[in-house]
Amino acid sequence: MTKRIDAHHHLWRYSEDEYGWIDESMKKLRRDFLLTDLVDEMRTANIDGAVAVQARQTLEETRWLLELADQSDAIRGVVGWAPIAEERFEAVLDEFAGRPKLKGLRHVIQGESDENYILRDDFNRGIAAMRSRGLVYDVLIYERHLPQTIEFVDRHPEQMFVLDHIAKPRIREGIIEPWAAGMRELARRENVSCKLSGVVTEADWNGWTAEGLKPYLDVVVEAFGPSRLMAGSDWPVCLVACEYARWFGLLANYFAGFSESEREAILGGNAVRVYGL
């Protein structure tokens, strides 16, 4: 049986200065979330391995995640941060060349004041340098960035991309367009996969239902198909709206009518293949 993989989670030692985005409404996240906590959660959902993803834009955190990954089979891979747009980027890639669990990189595009940051020449030079290193690039955007993201992906047809959190549609407001059209267009690029993660946090944290999420999951499944979807928890961020095991239970119910091979691909096989776990 294919291993079950949580394709997207975070770990952190909490400090107010470094995690200023965790506001009062998310106060339950204002504590440490460490490897032992993750392993306990994985056990509740019968998850065999996980991909740790950056939460801070520092090389210090990337190195820390890689150290944790070296210590534990629970972390099968790391999507870290590196200064992609800076001249020193290739030197940083050289530093990480001997770290086999570094599987990808991510930049917080959604946090940039420049709406066209993803199209900057310096950033794209860095992305071009990633391909020879075999690293995946995780795309973190809001739905409004889909047009720029499509243009961005078209500049790098040989680069493997993974779209995080289904591009954060406006679920809380019940708005599905133009997000759905953008997702269908982006999915025409076969070098893009999509994570089924971060969905409940875009809905009403206290009032969401599986039925309310279904139209958004339907769009993503139609667009990307079972061969380019991967399940992720976005733990611990998901805890503001949903417990770890509950999210994987929701996905299990949603995909119950799919074939066994399709379910195995979505719940682990695609992550293994795309990230080379």
Count up the domains in the chain and report the number. Answer: 1
pLDDT score recorded for residue 42: 97
pLDDT score recorded for residue 18: 84
pLDDT score recorded for residue 16: 84
pLDDT in tens, the chain (277 residues): 679 999 999 999 998 888 888 888 989 999 999 999 999 999 999 999 999 999 999 999 999 999 999 999 999 999 999 999 999 999 999 999 999 999 999 999 999 999 999 999 999 999 999 999 999 999 999 999 999 999 999 999 999 999 999 999 999 999 999 999 999 999 999 999 999 999 999 999 999 999 999 999 999 999 999 999 999 999 999 999 999 999 999 999 999 999 999 999 999 999 999 999 9
**Which of these, 45, 81, 61, lies nearest to 268 by C-alpha position?**
45
pLDDT score recorded for residue 99: 95
**Which of these, 260, 177, 251, lies nearest to 221 by C-alpha position?**
251
Tell me the HSE value of 51 on the side-chain side, using a 13 A CA sphere.
36
- Six-digit token string for 192: 């893009």
**What's the longest Cα–Cα distance across the chain?**
49
DSSP sequence for 58-71: -HHHHHHHHHHHHH
Give the CATH number of the domain where residue 142 resides: 3.20.20.140
**18 lies in which domain range?**
5-275
pLDDT score recorded for residue 123: 98
pTM: 0.95
pLDDT score recorded for residue 2: 74
